[in-house]
Chain A
Amino acid sequence: MHAVTVTPAPHSAPKPAHEWAVELVGIDKRFGPVHANKDVTLRFAPASIHGLVGENGAGKSTLMSILYGFYQADSGQILVRGREVAIKGSQDAIGLGIGMVHQHFMLVETFTVLENLLLGHEGGPLLAPAVARARKEVEALERTFGLEVPLDALVSDLPVGVQQRVEILKALYRGADVLILDEPTAVLSPPEVAQLFRILERLRAEGRTVVLITHKLKEIMAITDHVSVLRRGAVVAEFATAETNRQQLADAMVGRKANLEVEKAPAAAGPVLLAAEGVNVVDARGVTTLKNASLTVRAGEIVGVAGVAGNGQSELLEVLSGMLPFASGTLTIKGETLKAGSAYDPADARRRGLAHVPEDRLKLAVVKEFPAAQSAILGYHDDKPLGRGWRLDWKRVTAKTAELMERFDVRPRDPSLRTALFSGGNQQKLVMAREMEKEPDILLVGQPTRGVDIGAIAFIHKQLVGLRDRGKAILLVSAELDEIMALSDRILVMCDGEIVGELSAAEATESRIGSMMAGVSAGEEQ
């Protein structure tokens, strides 16, 4: 196993200080006993795209929050264009030409794009003159950077990709010279990602600096000039992107050889265990969010569902798991057919041998305030062996949790620790352990590795493949195309609430899935 090589980035040769757009020198930050940033020194060159990678909790967000003024560093300096500055809040950061595009957009949905851009820059009691002035300036920006945005559309009517462009435009309108993007591609379809990258390249060409925080190494390789790797709060490696590769970056992130591939034998598919036929879901507003969904999942196979977030995958999972009623169609679970309106809820689903790892871990799968042992029995609190009669026996629950933690390597192994205090990966392992414990015949899995670090991803993938090999049926919903392609034996693609296509693992390529995911907009692309 080769050790991680810490190659000095090529641009670290001595240069005049002002040749850096932003320098973070010796940044140190603690939160109580947690050492979030350890003596971090990073330099971002002007007219470049700098990647920042690291596992969850490696300190990327803390570092960028310090640069954007949300936190103050305990020690260290920040230099902007060679001059030392104090950034006490986001207003200071904006004043210094630092802009940030958050993972969750900070837009007023009921305002138009132009009104959003104007927020905080009204410049007087009357709106009309400001609007006219802003329109001119924004149109100039749009031309310069090739950012096309309908200025008079309501933000709520725009697709996420366009909303993100509004965020970028907002930062530029406020004079951002350095633009920080936090996981910008998490919500985008592949064509939208390509569009975003074209915009970032244009920004670079116009002399702006882009800092890209992501955990997708492929994106780092595709677009950045330099990349810094953080691990446990410290910079452990810096590379010129051209001189490194995904494996090297992954190894640096986890501090050991990382396994990027999923090893699995061809599927030996058995009888159909889960089937849906023409299932429709209508939400409270009367919108059909899942249209005429039909699918089958056989014993011993993993069926992947690809799609941009919000195209009906969540509804599909919720219908199949009994959380959401369906308006028409039928479900067939292990040969038993359920019609619309028949009593079917999550407790019933579990009794039938169907387990569900939901997409949104903190919202659905655990209770943050509970000790781990109580989150570990969520959904199974009526199981006979966990108590006597009405009573829950905490000794047995704790012993059971300790056993699950041991089997799924949940750290720290403390059933009495509050669930919120576990890292995302360890929470997810606990949820997987709980749902796989009973050897369910059918497992529904949503975003199994969202917010999970690389080491835990490999472990979770191995568990899923193991369950498949034991002859269970698995339906996998994921926003990560790589994950879908690595694990699935068949792939369904969803767009706009419909299952628009099915591919076998052999015929699936990223571009084929990508254009199906994008639906009609595939034609507009390029």
Chain B
Amino acid sequence: MSAGTGSDNLPWWATAVLLPVINVVLALIVSAIVILAIGEDPLGAMWTMVQGALGTSEGLGYTLYYATSLIFTALAVAVAFHGGLFNIGGEGQAYLGGLGVGLVCLAVGDMPWYLVLPLSVLGGAAFGGLWGAIPGYLQAYRGSHVVITTIMFNFIASSLMVYLMVNVLIRPGQMSPESAQFDKATFLPLVQDMAAAIGIQMNPSPLNFSLFLALAACVLVWAFIWHTRWGFALRTVGANENAARYAGIDPKKVIIIAMALSGALAGLLGVNEIHGVQHRLLLNFPAGMGFTGIAVALMGRNHPAGIVPAAILFGMLYQGGTELIFDYPSISRELVVVIQGVVILFAGALEHMFRPALVRLFTPKPAGV
């Protein structure tokens, strides 16, 4: 009797495409009402946002630069999620990851960037991974919930970075807590320069080689989770820890590895931000990307194929929002945050609001009733 028709079996595209689209449209409608309420033209404002995010090569560059960071932090959330863990510590892991990247770049001197990149990736992954693995260990062996410990580790990371930047890594004879600049040879190439080399003209933006690293990470994460024995063990622990134990998988080990991988991915944000753009260590460079990554992962259904478009959407919100503030004096920075918040609310927190209605719509009605 139990053919493939569970009561909540939606076609895959309804879950993966239709539902997020409905949620985003609804979020935009609510945002439009808010813009209308402060006396601005919502359609014009929306157009400004889209135009600002995609309309120019500069805007597109910024959008994709933000998306690059978000892909890393969202993949971090996704890997932990498949192991049944909710890693809220992306922000702190990214912060520490950036420290690792920065230390590598400071140490290597004038090595060319393509030799530095593998080292800075390792540095970012190692520092971020360690910052994720500690809460993982505490969860596995001490029963301290990762949701709590990763939040605490965000604060610890923040304080640690302030201490290091102010007391240890600061460039002597300078007021602001920033390290010395890396050698020019180590800078990751900007996409505008790469485009120029093949004859495409782009306006300056911070978009750099890290974008390709992020896309490669998507493919690797996908292959890891769904096509390796480790990924199978990870998903088994996430879905049913008892069954994992029965299967001879040690959930403690898997939890630590999952958190380490998750932290490592978040740590790669440092490659984009520190190695790719800032070229020195400084404070507060993750800028909330670690938290927004949670919303991106939720919206992207914890799958790389969903995370990429979701990251681009949020990149558009960041970049388009900046344009909006320029063009509309009555729209403040805070209102852009409101719009971003509404999208997160509908896409993340309320993601299942329309699910029952869709299920009713898609369940074949039995004949004769």
B11 contacts across to A, CB distance below 8 A: none
B36 within 8 A of A: no
**Interface contact A345-B246, CB-CB below 8 Å:** no
Query: Given the complex of chains A and B, what is the CA–CA distance between A387 and B232 in angstroms?
Result: 12
In the complex with contacts A74-B369, A423-B1, A392-B229 CB distance below 8 A: yes
A412 surroundings in chain B (CB, below 8 A) = 2-4
Please state if B227 and A356 are interface contacts (CB–CB under 8 Å).
no
**A367-B239, A390-B229, A392-B227 known; A378-B4 Cβ under 8 A:** no
Note all chain B residues with C-beta closer than 8 A to A381.
Answer: 229, 232-233, 236, 247
Known contacts A35-B366, A74-B369, A347-B248; A421 and B232 CB within 8 A of each other: no
Cα of A374 to Cα of B231 in the assembled complex, Å: 12
Contact among A32, A358, A391 for B7, CB-based, below 8 A: A32
Using a CB–CB cutoff of 8 Å, the interface residues on chain A facing chain B are 30-35, 57, 74, 232, 321-323, 345-350, 356, 358, 363-370, 374, 377-379, 381-382, 387, 390-392, 394, 412, 414, 417-418, 420-423
B5 at the interface (CB under 8 A from A): yes
B window 353-369: CB within 8 A of A = 363-364, 366, 369
16 contacts between A and B (CB under 8 A): A30-B366, A31-B7, A33-B5, A33-B364, A35-B366, A322-B248, A364-B242, A367-B243, A369-B240, A370-B236, A377-B232, A378-B243, A390-B230, A391-B227, A391-B229, A392-B232
User: Using Cβ atoms and an 8 Å threshold, which residues of chain B touch A421?
Assistant: 2-6
Contacts of B245 in A (CB 8 A): 323, 346, 364
Question: Looking at chain B, what size class is its interface with the partner chain?
Answer: 20 to 34
Q: Does B167 contact A (CB under 8 A)?
A: no
Verify if B201 is at the interface (C-beta below 8 Å from A): no
The smallest beta-carbon distance between A424 and chain B, in angstroms, is: 10
Q: Which residue of B lies closest to A378 (CB)?
A: B247
Provide the bound-state CA to CA distance between A420 and B231, in Å: 21
Chain B residues, Cβ within 8 Å of A347: 247-249
Residues of A within 8 Å of B4, CB to CB, are: 412, 414, 417-418, 421
Q: Which residues on the B side are within 8 Å of A35 (C-beta)?
A: 366
Contact of A358 among B240, B246, B250 (CB under 8 A): B246
Known contacts: A367-B239, A392-B227. The answer to whether A33 contacts B247 by CB under 8 A is no
Q: Is B228 an interface residue (CB 8 A)?
A: yes
Min CB–CB distance B261 → chain A (angstroms) = 14
A356 near B366 (CB under 8 angstroms)? no
Total inter-chain residue pairs, C-beta < 8 Å: 103
Give min CB distance, A507 to chain B, whole Å. Answer: 35
Q: Please name 5 further chain A to chain B contacts, defined as beta carbons within 8 Å, in addition to the given A367-B243, A392-B232, sorted by A numbering.
A: A345-B248, A346-B246, A364-B242, A387-B229, A392-B227
Return A426 CB to nearest CB of chain B, in Å. 8
Residue of A nearest to B236 (CB): A367
Residues of A within 8 A of B249 (CB): 347
B81-101 contact mask (Cβ, 8 Å, vs A): 1 or 0? 000000000000000000000
B236 engages A378 (CB within 8 Å): yes
Write out the residue numbers on chain A whose beta carbons fall within 8 Å of the beta carbon of B3: 33, 412, 421
Q: Assess A363 versus B243: contact at CB under 8 Å? Given A33-B364, A418-B6, A423-B1.
A: yes
Nearest residue in B to A346 (C-beta to C-beta)? B248
How far, in whole Å, are A255 and B326 apart by their CA atoms in the complex?
Answer: 76
Interface hits, B1-58 → A, CB 8 Å: 1-7
- Cβ of A420: which chain B residues have Cβ within 8 Å of it? 6
Say whether, besides A30-B366, A364-B243, A350 and B229 are in contact (CB < 8 Å). Answer: no
- Chain A residue at smallest Cβ distance from B364: A33
Shortest A253–chain B CB gap in Å is 15
* Cross-chain contact B1 with A34 (CB below 8 angstroms): yes
Closest to A34 in B: B1
Q: A32-B363, A367-B240, A423-B1 are in contact. Are A378 and B246 (CB under 8 A)?
A: yes
B369 near A368 with CB under 8 A, answer no
CA distance A394 to B7 in the complex (A): 27
Complex Cα distance A306/B250, Å?
31
Query: Top 3 A-B pairs ranked by shortest CB distance?
Result: A347-B248, A346-B248, A379-B247
Shortest A58–chain B CB gap in Å is 10
In chain B, positions 238-274 with a C-beta closer than 8 Å to chain A are 239-240, 242-243, 245-250
Of all chain B residues, which has the CB nearest A411? B2
Known: A33-B3, A34-B1, A421-B6. A379 touches B229 (CB 8 A): no
Closest Cβ neighbor of B224 among chain A residues: A390
Give the residue among B235, B248, B249 with the most A Cβ atoms within 10 A. B248
A440 to chain B, nearest CB (A): 14
Q: Are A374 and B5 in contact (CB under 8 A)?
A: no
User: Contact: A369 with B239, CB < 8 Å?
Assistant: yes
- What is the bound-complex CA distance between A421 and B8, given in angstroms? 11
Evaluate contact between B369 and A323: CB separation under 8 angstroms: no
Question: Please, which residues of chain B bring their CB within 8 A of the CB of A34?
Answer: 1-2, 5
- Least CB distance from B278 to A in Å reads 36
Rounded to whole angstroms, the CA-CA distance of A350 and B248 in the bound complex is 9
Beta-carbon contact of B228 and A346 below 8 Å: no
| Given contact pairs A32-B366, A33-B364, A423-B1, A356 touches B246 in the complex (Cβ within 8 A) | yes
